[in-house]
Amino acid sequence: MPRRIRQLTLPVWRDPEAVFRAFFAESPYVAWLDGGADAASGSSVLAAAHPGTEFVTADARRGTVSRSRPAASDASAQVPTTTAGSIFDVLGEMLSGHRPAPGDDAIGSTDDGGPIGWFGWFGYELGAQLNAVPTAEAETADAAFLFVDRAIVFDHAARSVRLVWLDDDGSAAPGPAEAWAAELAAGIERLAAASAPVISPIASPAGAGPDRAPTRWRHGPERYEQLIAECQAAIIRGDAYQLCLTNRVDVDVHPDPASAYLALRASSPSHHGGYLRFGDTALLSASPEQFLHVEPGGIVSTKPMKGTRPRSADPETDAALRRELLASEKERAENLMIVDLMRNDLGRIAELGTVEVPSLLDVEEYAHVHQLVSTVTARLRHPLTALDAVQSAFPAGSMTGAPKHSAMTILHELEQGPRGIYSGAFGYLGVDGSADLAMVIRSIVLTPNGASIGTGGGITALSIAAEEVEETRIKARALLAVLGAEMPTSE
């Protein structure tokens, strides 16, 4: 008998950051899909591992999957068990085994799976393996997912807080999950009821003082300009139409992950941010780009983002930069090429005739940049699932270039190192068939070796090398500021 999905709507509203600080900031395995500070629409989801929570990682080069229960009381269950296999098979097996069943709980039940399911990331090198192109070995897992069967959902438009969970065994008797819901509901209500809640401050990220931590760029400005020239030579030869060339910046700092994320979301608000901490690895993202959204009914959408201009504090200058982006022949061509690629990717898993482009070349504004964004939609072909959509479209064309296979092969030779989690995708895959995955851009990755960020841009025949170098600096600055790192200077 499937485990029923229960829900309980609380009588109070509480901001996700306050709940995170009070209950999740110290959790070693936690997921926060963040609709943004001061969000007036959309939703946020918070969840953490409990003793029964399963955690899986993948090694794409070796074709293995490791499974463990990191919060288990039994130490042996915390030790990963590694077997040969596909991460998609493992994810799909758990999702199909927990499809929602109608509930009749008096405190609330739902036929909608909501945010119950896998929360985590797909790394870029997994995408390279899917596309049969060479890969470099990353220090982070090529995929990492936590199975979330207890979550807090914040509806920003309705200003409501809802607890959602899978019951423990399908029986009507209360179990640990119900106890979790009752205890957490009481805690959140107490937190919300306080007129002036006292929330313990979290220390500032390491290195945030006047002494900036040094940075190591995989490719310095001169080398990056040479790589741009090599990209353009490949385009002239006809090997690609566009190449998304990336760079990596390493910083020798070890900030508290929660502190660093709160600083990032304050400085770079975004509707698809996220905090995923899985043991000694954490992803802190202020991503503005949606990779894939899948509705339970099978409607799939993707929002490729290509074309960038910086923001200005001066309104007239800012408006001029926006107009410049919208009028740029190079930026429009760059976006249109990726739209065409994503139409092709979705077309492989879509019902015939359902691929559409309802929005083309819109400008979206964020704290630090203007972005040129389009939307592509389709309907999944029966009996395909969200996982089939991921495998067809990953990695996103906005992070590869076009044609995808050729572009990724060329970029592997030029970039000379792994991308890791950067330029992959993160979010959730729901037991109800839904999915919401964002691009891993505008993100910080923390590991025992320190912090790293990725930055890059699409190269076309019309690209100007100095402008492309400056774009990578613009994209990196807000992230480096959070880490208290050296800031790149414009030339």
CA distance 458 to 475: 13
The yes-or-no verdict on residue 375 having pLDDT over 50 is: yes
Question: Cβ atoms within 10 A of the Cβ of 162, count?
Answer: 20
Both tokens of residue 385?
């699932």
- Judged by DSSP in three states, 14 sits in coil
Mean pLDDT across the chain, nearest whole number? Answer: 90
Say if CB 246 and CB 410 are below 8 A apart: no
The yes-or-no verdict on residue 92 having pLDDT over 80 is: yes
Both tokens of residue 457?
């841009």
* pLDDT given at position 172: 58
Q: If pLDDT is split at 50, 70 and 90, which confidence band does 326 have?
A: confident
Please state the rounded mean pLDDT for residues 236-260. 97
Q: If pLDDT is split at 50, 70 and 90, which confidence band does 264 have?
A: very high
Residue type, 357: V
The yes-or-no verdict on residue 6 having pLDDT over 60 is: yes
- Phi/psi region, residue 467 (left: phi>0; alpha: psi -120 to 50; beta: rest), is alpha
* pLDDT given at position 192: 61
Residues 425-441 have pLDDT tens digits of 999 999 999 999 999 99
- Judged by DSSP in three states, 373 sits in strand
CA distance 473 to 157: 35
* pLDDT given at position 51: 95
Strands 290-294 and 117-122: unpaired
* Domain 4-101+112-193+212-289+396-483 -> CATH class: alpha beta
Is the preceding omega at residue 403 within 30 degrees of 0, hence cis? yes
* pLDDT given at position 270: 87
Please state the rounded mean pLDDT for residues 240-255. 96
The yes-or-no verdict on residue 368 having pLDDT over 90 is: no
Residues 95-149 have pLDDT tens digits of 998 876 654 343 333 444 568 999 999 999 999 999 999 999 999 999 999 999 9
Q: Measured in Å, how far apart are the chain's first and last C-alpha atoms?
A: 65
* pLDDT given at position 329: 87
* pLDDT given at position 169: 62
* pLDDT given at position 205: 52
* pLDDT given at position 97: 84
Task: Count, in order, helices (H) and strands (E) of the chain.
Answer: 12, 24
Say if CB 7 and CB 163 are below 8 A apart: yes
Most confidently modeled range among 74-78, 357-361, 452-456:
452-456
Closest CA to 70 of 58, 60, 81, 86: 81
Count Cβ neighbours within 10 Å for each residue of 459-469 and write b for 16 or more, e otherwise: bbeebebeebb
* pLDDT given at position 210: 57
CA distance 387 to 366: 30
The yes-or-no verdict on residue 197 having pLDDT over 50 is: no
Say if CB 453 and CB 285 are below 8 A apart: no
Residues 211-229 have pLDDT tens digits of 789 999 999 999 999 999 9
Residues 398-412 have pLDDT tens digits of 999 999 999 999 999
Q: What are phi and psi of 301, to 5 degrees?
A: -140, 150
* pLDDT given at position 334: 85
Closest CA to 359 of 371, 372, 374: 374
CA distance 212 to 458: 30
Q: In degrees to the nearest 10, what's the CA dihedral of 216, 221, 226, 231?
A: 80
Residues 268-321 have pLDDT tens digits of 988 899 999 999 999 999 998 899 999 999 999 999 888 888 888 888 898 998
Please state the rounded mean pLDDT for residues 161-182. 82
Residues 7-47 have pLDDT tens digits of 999 999 999 999 999 999 999 999 999 999 888 899 999 99
CA-to-CA separations, 95 to 7, 92, 212, 435, in angstroms, rounded: 19, 5, 45, 11
Most confidently modeled range among 235-249, 315-329, 357-371:
235-249
% of the chain beyond a pLDDT of 90: 73
